[in-house]
């Protein structure tokens, strides 16, 4: 064995440096490369350990070119990379990868039996056994009806990954954050349902932070705080919704800290949701916030217009009704706040159609939107502006995002930037990014060009006035 073989950790550190220099996303590096552990280096073959099969498959699908380049750079043309995939603490599942060839040696993961026993419980069911603890999951919130998009892809992928081997992956805890109404509760329940289906012997519990707090207060009032803690320490998969609502509650946070530590040390899975990232939470103890960062923090943001259309189509299909495509698009472009309002408008349309025998058209959709959003002067989205401008000029919306010098496309793009600056609160950088990936200087130039043409060209001024009416309609 040569000197290089003895320094496999040094070699992997150099690999990480090379990867970091060639990877654009710091978050991707933290999520997919920091959890990897080097195992050995023999005969120019570096073995690395990854947390799960999903983790390995993601690396192979998304980073194989970078990994090959890295190994070649550090170990030369004969360098090879092998993976060791840990399925549990006693039985490793190993996959060796060289180029596209894979060889496998494995032992099936051992399911750890759960021994039912009588335990004190805050759910007020005398003599409740662990195997009979209700999961409190909503059966309607499954992965099957969760619409994936760029807005939630990382959170969804990580959530599905932990269902393969709860508690044993690098994503423990999994911390999902985002604004209200974007699907955090749906995803939390989907994770629980998938684990229950795959591992029926595991005890899965979904609870909101508010309910958790109320249980703790009741336990303290009745002198049963130790029983409360002991109960939660026996859960295999703990799903807590809106954990930010523990803010300012010192006693509840102390109890949760004890529960969290016990579950994490016992390799039990913890999944939390919040409206803020750990770094932005206030009123929480520092020791808790540091633990929230141990695993993976994945955000969910407002879906883009394509994903909003897909959400509406899925809901419509589930209800077995037909709604014209132009109405679906109108709703998707008009509602850019959260998914709940999107679904609220759709449900109102369905009710009007079924109960009042009304035809679903854009006029009816506009009525429902005005009633639910309750703000006729609501912010206009950049997506909606691009749609209106492109329809006026008779060009596809995608053309605005393509680098082109055609006069009608350049003019449409400049008008979209001009109206986006007028009607939205977005920065110039964001407007430029969504209008052909341009910089803020291009947006400023576009606005100046539109104003100049309005002053010198009567026909163009009429065009701008007509577009303004359509945006406000």
Q: Give the pLDDT confidence of 22-62 residue by residue, as tens digits.
A: 887 777 788 788 889 898 888 888 889 887 666 777 787 77
Q: What is the pLDDT of residues 80-91, one digit of tens each?
A: 888 887 543 333
Structure tokens that stand for 191 in this block: 């994770």
Q: Is the pLDDT of residue 266 over 70?
A: yes
Span 224-237, mean pLDDT? Answer: 86
Residue 420 and residue 412: Cα distance in Å, rounded?
Answer: 12
| Structure token digits, residue 154 | 């990382």
* Choice between 162 and 24, residue whose per-residue pLDDT is larger: 162
pLDDT at 76: 87
What's the start-to-end Cα distance of the chain, in Å?
76
Q: What is the pLDDT of residue 107?
A: 30
pLDDT band at 314 (very low <50, low <70, confident <90, very high): confident
Q: Residues of 378-398 as b/e, b for ≥16 C-beta within 10 angstroms?
A: eebbbbbbbbbbbeeeebebe
Q: Which pLDDT value is given to residue 108?
A: 28
Higher pLDDT, 87 or 137: 137
CATH entry, 3-105, from 3.30.9.10, 3.30.300.180, 3.30.499.10, 3.10.560.10:
3.30.300.180
Same fold, 3-105 and 391-472: no
Highest-pLDDT range among 329-343, 376-390, 409-423: 409-423
Average the pLDDT over 373-387 and give the result. 68
> 419 and 385 in contact (C-beta within 8 Å)?
yes
Chain-wide mean pLDDT for the chain? 80
- What pLDDT shows up at residue 239? 96
Does 102 or 401 have the greater pLDDT score?
401
- Token pair in block for residue 181: 């109404």
Residue 427: pLDDT band with limits 50, 70, 90: confident
The confidence score (pLDDT) of residue 87 equals 46
Question: How confident is the model over 127-143, as a mean pLDDT?
Answer: 74
* Per-residue pLDDT at 351: 79
Nearest to 38, CA basis, from 60, 66, 16: 16
Average pLDDT rounded to a whole number, residues 165-189: 89
Is pLDDT above 90 for 191?
yes
Mean pLDDT of 240-244: 93
The CATH number assigned to the domain with range 305-373 reads 1.10.8.60
Residues recorded for the chain: 473
- How is domain 133-299 classified at the architecture level of CATH? 3-Layer(aba) Sandwich (3.40)
**DSSP element (H, E) containing 352:** helix 339-355
What pLDDT was estimated at residue 159? 92
Fold of the domain built from segment(s) 391-472: Chromosomal Replication Initiator Protein Dnaa; Chain: A; (1.10.1750)
pTM above 0.75, yes or no: no
Residue 329 has pLDDT above 70, yes or no: yes
Backbone angles phi, psi at 450, to 5 degrees: -65, -45
Q: What is the pLDDT at residue 54?
A: 64
Q: Decide if pLDDT at 96 tops 60.
A: no
The Cβ-side half-sphere exposure at 323, using a 13 Å CA radius, reads 33
Average pLDDT of 207-216? 90
* Sequence ranges of the domains in the chain: 3-105, 133-299, 305-373, 391-472
What band does 369 get if pLDDT is binned at 50, 70 and 90? confident
pLDDT value for 473: 64
Q: How far apart are CA 358 and CA 350, in angstroms?
A: 9
Q: Does residue 251 surpass a pLDDT of 90?
A: no
Report the C-alpha gap between 74 and 223 in whole angstroms.
62
pLDDT band at 132; cut points 50, 70, 90: low
**How would DSSP label each residue in 201-247?**
TS-EEEEEHHHHHHHHHHHHHTT-HHHHHHHHTT-SEEEEE-GGGGT
pLDDT band of residue 123 (cuts 50, 70, 90) is low
What pLDDT is attached to residue 373? 63
Q: What token pair was written down for 460? A: 């163009």
Query: Quick one: pLDDT at residue 374?
Result: 52
Can you tell me the mean pLDDT for 350-361? 75
């Amino acid at each position: 064995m040569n000197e290089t073989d003895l320094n496999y950790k040094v070699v992997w550190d150099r690999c990480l440096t090379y990867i970091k220099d060639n990877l654009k996303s710091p978050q991707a590096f933290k999520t997919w490369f920091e959890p990897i552990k080097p195992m050995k280096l023999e005969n120019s073959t570096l073995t690395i350990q990854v947390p799960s099969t999903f983790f390995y498959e993601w690396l192979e699908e998304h980073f194989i070119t970078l990994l090959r380049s890295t190994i070649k750079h550090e170990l030369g043309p004969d360098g090879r990379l092998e993976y060791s995939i840990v399925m549990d603490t006693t039985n490793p599942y190993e996959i060796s990868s060289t180029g596209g060839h894979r060889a496998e040696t494995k032992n099936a993961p051992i399911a750890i039996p759960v021994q039912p026993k009588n335990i004190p419980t805050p759910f007020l069911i005398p003599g409740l056994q662990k195997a009979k603890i209700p999961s409190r999951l909503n059966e309607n919130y499954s992965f099957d009806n969760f619409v994936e998009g760029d807005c939630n892809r990382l959170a969804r992928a990580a959530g599905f990954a932990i269902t393969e081997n709860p508690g044993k992956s690098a994503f423990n805890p999994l911390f999902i954050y985002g604004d209200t109404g974007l699907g955090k509760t749906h995803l939390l329940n989907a994770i629980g349902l998938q684990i229950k289906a795959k591992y029926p012997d595991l005890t899965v519990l979904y609870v909101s932070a508010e309910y958790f707090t109320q249980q703790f207060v009741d336990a303290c009032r009745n002198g049963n705080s130790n029983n409360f803690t002991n109960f939660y320490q026996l859960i295999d998969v703990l799903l807590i919704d809106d954990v930010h609502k523990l803010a300012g509650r010192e006693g509840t946070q102390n109890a949760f800290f004890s529960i969290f530590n016990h579950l994490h040390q016992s390799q039990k899975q913890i999944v939390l949701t919040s409206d803020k990232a750990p770094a932005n939470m206030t009123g929480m103890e520092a020791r808790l916030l540091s633990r929230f960062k141990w695993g993976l923090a994945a955000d969910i943001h407002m879906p883009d217009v394509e994903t909003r259309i897909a959400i509406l189509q899925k809901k419509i299909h589930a209800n077995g009704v037909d709604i014209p495509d132009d109405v679906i698009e109108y709703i998707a472009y008009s509602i850019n706040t959260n998914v709940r309002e999107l679904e609220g408008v759709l449900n109102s349309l369905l009710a009007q159609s079924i109960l009042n025998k009304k035809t679903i058209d854009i006029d009816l959709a506009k009525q429902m939107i005005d009633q639910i959003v309750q703000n006729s002067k609501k912010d206009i989205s950049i997506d909606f502006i691009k749609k209106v401008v492109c329809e006026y000029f008779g060009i596809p919306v995608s053309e605005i995002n393509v680098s082109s010098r055609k006069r009608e496309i350049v003019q449409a793009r400049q008008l979209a930037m001009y109206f986006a600056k007028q009607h939205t609160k977005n920065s110039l950088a964001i407007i430029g990014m969504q209008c052909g990936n341009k910089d803020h200087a291009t947006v400023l130039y576009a606005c100046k060009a539109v104003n100049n043409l309005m002053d010198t060209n009567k026909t163009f001024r009429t065009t701008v006035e007509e577009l303004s009416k359509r945006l406000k309609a």
